Structure 1
Amino acid sequence: MTDRALSVVRAGALTTVQDLGRPGHAHLGVPRSGALDGPAAALVNRLVGNAPEAAVLETTLNGCALRPRSTVIVAVGGAPCHVTVDGRPVAWGAPVRVPAGALLDVGTAVSGVRAYVAVSGGIAVEPVLGSRSTDLLSGLGPPPLTDGTVLPLGRSTWLHARVDAAPQPAPPAELVLRVTPGPRDDWFTPAAVRAFTSRAYRVSAASNRIGLRTEGPALERAITRELPSEGVVLGSVQVPPDGRPVVFLADHPTTGGYPVIAVVRAADLPAAAQAVPGTPVRFVAVRRR
């Protein structure tokens, strides 16, 4: 058995393998998937000398614990958390050497939701449709990690970044999402459209990789008939029957039967990955490009 591997000692609440995702397959009903906080995943890959497309681990809230079978360079970023090697504190947001057999523990998020763990060489599980990402909706890619899982690693270059630490944005105290109205904003009353961009919402605890759910004023429909399923894109703000907006994230379905009142700018979505339940959400209308 190869020594280029990681053993999962503690899988945490939800830890998945993620990379850049599998774009270009929506016509087959396959979501893009990929890391929810793309900039955080890209940064930790750079810190350990990986290529941008290398797969990393995405943890949720309470981290994970890993034991490499050979010496590796690791970087943890995204949600700030305490990181230890064999019980000794090591740097978060910087490359760290983890000897063979040592226990790397990625702790509970101090703030934010998702931490990203890059290992030199990348997580080398078998790709599906060109990506190693776990897609929770379609079931493509490797299943979420469980205790005892063994993950193969790719070949390491050992050319990791020579930095003490790398700046990363703090998780949002308020999530501001710029939206382009439509395509189905005319299915809502004028009062509902005004409320959508003027009233306060909060992140719901029911949020996941498929969508960020919100709590707040229900949006009243002007057109109440059924909407035939139609294509939806990353960042679509769909409004289900309860009237509370849902922002579609990486594992979203490729079609939907509820009206989409607006679409969030892609640049604002990484912050949504780190917004803890209860975070205020504000939708801000911007002009169509």
Structure 2
Amino acid sequence: MTLIDGKATATAIKQQIAEEVKDIMAKGGKQPHLAAVLVGHDGGSETYVKNKVIACEQCGFKSTLIRYEDDVTEEELLACVDRLNKDADVDGFIVQLPLPKHIDEQKIIMAIDYRKDVDGFHPINVGRMSIGLPSFISATPLGIMTLLRHYNIETSGKKCVVLGRSNIVGKPMAQLMMLKNFGDATVTVCHSHTKDIKKECLDADIIVAAIGKPDFLTADMVKEGAVVIDVGTTRVPDATRKKGFRLNGDVKFDEVAPKCSYITPVPGGVGPMTICSLMKNTLAAAKKEYYK
């Protein structure tokens, strides 16, 4: 069993990005600028945005954080998006999800200029990605694909099961694994209404668990030699930890890991690669790789 080290992989990629940024700026180019809009005080969102700011420093990016309380109106948030769309110095920006219930998330996503949509959530980027055109790709699926390539894990012709059908992970992950120039795999998407998830998983060479249920994937659902990618990051109360909680994946790691050829840990697996992919998308936006 090989443990897939997302932290080390992300560190190496961020060093490469930093070197490229240094070179761009030495030649008189513009410093890439990533902005983030954070609404409220969701613990997971706070951590993600804090790590994003740190990653920007490591990559040599300019970073801006715009904060709102969770009683912000939809109109105020849309006005903020409009300002960022028009700000020539901002290459890319994210509006951190989830948003408070009184705000229509899809409306906010649709308002973001797709050329600055480094989260890869805008329908134009989703559509371009789905047919194999260059685009910003949702950060977590892009990070997973980067890990699979980094570890030379064969995906072509393999059977891949994606657990979960969210717009952020499940759907784009399935699309990438299907695309000829990415995964080139045979893909099954399982969700809450799938009849026999255990049977589907036992047939899989690669399982991507993004269902949001701690310890959902157990050893009796995984065949010998499978590759298991755990996207789950649920905060589980733990009095023995300083913060009072631990991060728990969707995979029951201790019993599943011995059966795997490769597996990601939680934390330290997919998480660091999500931030790293956001940096890659921001650099691409700054270089205008996809859109002029």
TM-score normalized by the length of structure 2: 0.27
Compare the two structures and name the one with the higher helix fraction: 2
For the pair shown, which has the larger CA radius of gyration, 1 or 2?
A: 1
TM-score normalized by the length of structure 1: 0.27
Compare the two structures and name the one with the higher strand fraction: 1
